[in-house]
């Protein structure tokens, strides 16, 4: 660490010095990142008062290394690492406006698309990335082409722009390109469309078969095979592929979260808790899935009837993520699940201090209203959630059940149909239909509900794995 500090203050600008500065920066992040809490407002400084300010100053130092020897640096992956470091430290300190002149300086000195594209990816500027890959295609390195394709492939208005690049990149990045092709096939398609479109299903399975044949031990392809089969309701195949994937990369948070979800969906909360315990020693300190793994572990503890442990997770999550909507929503859901309406209401009040506009906030508010038998208010908040997120099957199913509870059966039936259209595998959409119909239709809906409970996996915050490493510049 002391050697790193010395390098930061020296005048050398060669590649070896830059590499050592980056190594020192990564050591700083590894040691301190988990305990970091971003400031509530902008802060400006002359000398580093904490590790993250030091990180930002290190990125300033690297700028001059790159500008002095641009051609040498562009033959390495150092520019991308530099941009990741610069953007991470500046955004955490809420100083993106401070680094804008630095980006301008890089542009003026280098006109380097390999630096510009990661910057525009970080600030979510789809148009800029799309224009740059068209204008500077011949000047960018393959890695920059790849991250551009990964970034744009989920955006319906821009994903066609990447098609000319895929064949060229396939030999160098076979698993990533196969994953992008999977993503392009299902992006902006409803689960019902994927299920009913036989040609689309065949396309997905053919991409997977070819990729597995070419790289049978590639953890990314095995994971994506698990994801596609889970999406299609083939839970057993999903589990087998994911188990293989984990055997090759047991420390990847994305794989761990997915497996915990699969185990919970199989009513194996104790196995999920065991995996979570193991994951604590394996999980990368910088894993972006850590929060979601802790949330799922909290639910698994409750499902295993280990209520004191679940409550300890509530305390820990609220302490570690005090202004996080995912945590607030999960804590409220868990409290309602274990009949602690008072604690759920208190958490909602804490949530309302910093957010009263997200669909999850409205949904959780509605569930507390239902517990208090205030159905009029509950309906109002559910409608507010649906207005923001109409494709959410859970929201539509909850409104259907609420309408049925009030005797509004025609409206309940309509909402149940919408829920099923949004996600025909979602068990509680079928439960909503059970409540909305009678006679033979009710029996059929009950059978479907039982069937879907056996095959459904919650894939929220679980997605196709587009990049092999967890912590790259496009992952926020």
- Whole-structure pTM value: 0.76
Check whether domain 173-283 has CATH 1.25.40.10, yes or no: yes
- Confidence (pLDDT) at 392: 95
Query: Tens of pLDDT along 411-461?
Result: 999 999 999 999 888 999 999 999 999 999 999 999 999 999 999 999 999
The answer to whether residue 282 scores a pLDDT higher than 60 is yes
Matching CATH topology for 173-283 and 290-389?
Answer: yes
Query: Tens of pLDDT along 327-376?
Result: 999 999 999 999 999 999 999 999 999 999 999 999 999 999 999 999 99
Residues contacting residue 475 through CB under 8 Å, at least 6 positions apart: 288, 467
Angstrom distances, CA of residue 295 to CA of 75, 132, 254, 349, 367: 42, 39, 14, 20, 19
DSSP 8-class letter at 35: G
Listed as own residue / partner, the contacts of 25-33 with beta carbons closer than 8 Å and 24 or more positions apart are: 25/55, 25/58, 25/59, 25/85, 27/1, 28/4, 28/54, 28/55, 28/58, 29/55, 29/88, 29/286, 30/285, 30/286, 33/285, 33/286
Query: Tens of pLDDT along 454-469?
Result: 999 999 999 999 988 7
The Cα–Cα gap between 219 and 440 comes to 46
DSSP 8-class letter at 125: -
Give the SS3 label for residue 86: helix
Residue the block writes with tokens 């295993």: 304
Which CATH number does 390-455 carry? 1.25.40
- Confidence (pLDDT) at 174: 94
CA torsion, ordered 292, 298, 299, 303, to nearest 10 deg: 150
The Cα–Cα gap between 353 and 351 comes to 5
Is there a contact between 234 and 201 (Cβ–Cβ < 8 Å)?
Answer: no
Ramachandran category for residue 37: left, alpha or beta (phi over 0 → left; psi -120 to 50 → alpha): beta
Residues contacting residue 271 through CB under 8 Å, at least 6 positions apart: 263
Query: Of 216, 268, 210, nearest to 239 (Cα)?
Result: 268
The answer to whether residue 276 scores a pLDDT higher than 60 is yes
The answer to whether residue 4 scores a pLDDT higher than 70 is no
- Confidence (pLDDT) at 246: 95
| SS3 labels along 227-281 | HHHHHCCCHHHHHHHHHHHHHHCCCCHHHHHHHHHHHHHCCCHHHHHHHHHHHHH
Query: Tens of pLDDT along 80-121?
Result: 666 666 666 666 666 666 666 655 555 554 446 776 787 778
Q: What's the CATH fold of domain 290-389?
A: 1.25.40
The Cα–Cα gap between 33 and 56 comes to 14
The Cα–Cα gap between 256 and 300 comes to 14
Is there a contact between 296 and 272 (Cβ–Cβ < 8 Å)?
Answer: yes
Residue the block writes with tokens 């239902």: 370
Give the SS3 label for residue 302: helix
Ramachandran category for residue 233: left, alpha or beta (phi over 0 → left; psi -120 to 50 → alpha): left
The answer to whether residue 68 scores a pLDDT higher than 90 is no
Is there a contact between 341 and 335 (Cβ–Cβ < 8 Å)?
Answer: yes
254 confidence band (pLDDT: 50, 70, 90): very high
The answer to whether residue 154 scores a pLDDT higher than 50 is yes
Boundaries of every domain in the chain: 173-283, 290-389, 390-455
Buried b (16+ CB within 10 A) or exposed e, 172-188: ebbbbbbbbbbbbbbee
Query: Tens of pLDDT along 166-177?
Result: 999 999 999 999
Tokens at 205, concatenated: 């399975």
Number of residues assigned to the chain: 476
- Confidence (pLDDT) at 50: 64
Is there a contact between 222 and 248 (Cβ–Cβ < 8 Å)?
Answer: yes
Mean pLDDT, range 146-164, rounded to an integer: 87
């Amino acid at each position: 660490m002391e050697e790193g500090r010395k390098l930061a203050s020296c005048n050398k600008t060669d590649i070896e010095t830059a590499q050592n500065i980056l190594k020192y920066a990564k050591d700083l992040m590894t040691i301190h990142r988990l305990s970091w809490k971003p400031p509530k407002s902008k802060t400006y400084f002359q000398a580093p008062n904490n590790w993250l300010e030091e990180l930002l100053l290190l990125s300033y130092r690297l700028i001059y290394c790159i500008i002095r020897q641009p051609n040498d640096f562009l033959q390495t992956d150092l520019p991308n690492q530099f941009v990741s470091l610069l953007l991470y430290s500046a955004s955490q300190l809420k100083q993106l406006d401070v680094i804008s002149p630095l980006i301008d300086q890089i542009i003026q000195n280098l006109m380097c698309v390999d630096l510009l594209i990661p910057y525009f990816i970080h600030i979510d500027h789809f148009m800029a990335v799309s224009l740059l890959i068209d204008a500077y295609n011949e000047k960018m390195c393959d890695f920059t082409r790849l991250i551009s394709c990964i970034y744009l492939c989920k955006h319906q208005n821009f994903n066609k722009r990447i098609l000319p690049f895929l064949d060229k990149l396939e030999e160098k990045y076979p698993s990533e390109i196969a994953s992008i092709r999977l993503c392009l096939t299902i992006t902006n398609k409803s689960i019902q469309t994927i299920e009913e479109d036989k040609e689309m299903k065949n396309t997905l399975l053919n991409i997977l078969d070819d990729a597995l044949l070419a790289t049978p031990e590639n953890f990314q392809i095995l994971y994506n095979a698990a994801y596609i089969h889970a999406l299609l309701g083939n839970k057993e195949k999903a589990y087998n592929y994911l188990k293989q994937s984990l055997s090759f990369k047991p420390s990847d948070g994305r794989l761990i979260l997915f497996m915990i979800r699969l185990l919970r969906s199989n009513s194996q909360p104790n196995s999920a808790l065991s995996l979570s315990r193991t994951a604590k020693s394996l999980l990368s300190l910088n894993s972006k899935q850590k929060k979601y793994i802790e949330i799922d572990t909290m639910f698994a503890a409750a499902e295993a009837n280990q209520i004191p442990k679940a409550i300890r997770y509530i305390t820990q999550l609220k302490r570690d993520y005090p202004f996080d909507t995912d945590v607030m929503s999960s804590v409220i859901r868990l409290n309602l699940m274990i009949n602690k309406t008072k604690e759920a209401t208190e958490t909602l009040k804490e949530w309302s201090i910093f957010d009263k506009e997200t669909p999850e906030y409205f949904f959780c508010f509605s569930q507390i209203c239902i517990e208090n038998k205030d159905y009029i208010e509950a309906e109002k908040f559910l409608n507010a959630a649906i207005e923001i997120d109409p494709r959410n099957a859970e929201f539509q199913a909850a409104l259907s059940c609420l309408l049925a509870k009030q005797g509004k059966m025609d409206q309940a039936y309509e909402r149940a149909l919408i829920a099923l259209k949004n996600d025909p595998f979602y068990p509680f959409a079928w439960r909503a239909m059970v409540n909305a119909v009678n006679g033979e239709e009710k029996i059929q809906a009950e059978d479907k509900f039982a069937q879907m409970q056996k095959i459904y996996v919650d894939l929220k915050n679980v997605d196709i794995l587009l990049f092999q490493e967890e912590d790259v510049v496009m992952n926020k």
